Amino acid sequence: MCITIGVPNLVLASAGRTDANGCHTEKATGNYHCHEKPPIKEARTTARVSAPSVAKTVSKDYNCSDFTTHKDAQDMFELQGGVSNDVYRLDADKDGIACEELQ
């Protein structure tokens, strides 16, 4: 006489560790399988930030006589905010043109 006992949906648990892919070989069956995808590791990077050649802060009181060209004076004037923020008073008549005597 032979008795057959069926066990539906038998799930074998494993206590083994997974490899880098999140997979392992099941000891009971010898089957290699995966449980889940491994987490994606974010790369850490560091970046060096260099300071601008001309800071947007008042560290020196520039006058028109400090510039050799109108372009240099105008660039500084615009860098600092132009007419709305003429921290060095390079545009005396507030027409948007710095150090007009250098033109």
Instruction: Spell out the per-residue pLDDT of the chain, length 103, in tens.
Output: 555 555 444 444 445 577 777 777 788 888 877 766 656 666 666 666 555 555 455 568 899 999 999 999 999 999 999 999 998 999 999 999 999 999 9
User: Which token pair is 102?
Assistant: 């250098």
Residue 97: partners with Cβ closer than 8 Å, 6 or more residues away: 74, 91, 103
| 3-state secondary structure at position 25 | strand
Residue ranges of domains in the chain = 9-39, 64-102
Query: pTM here?
Result: 0.44
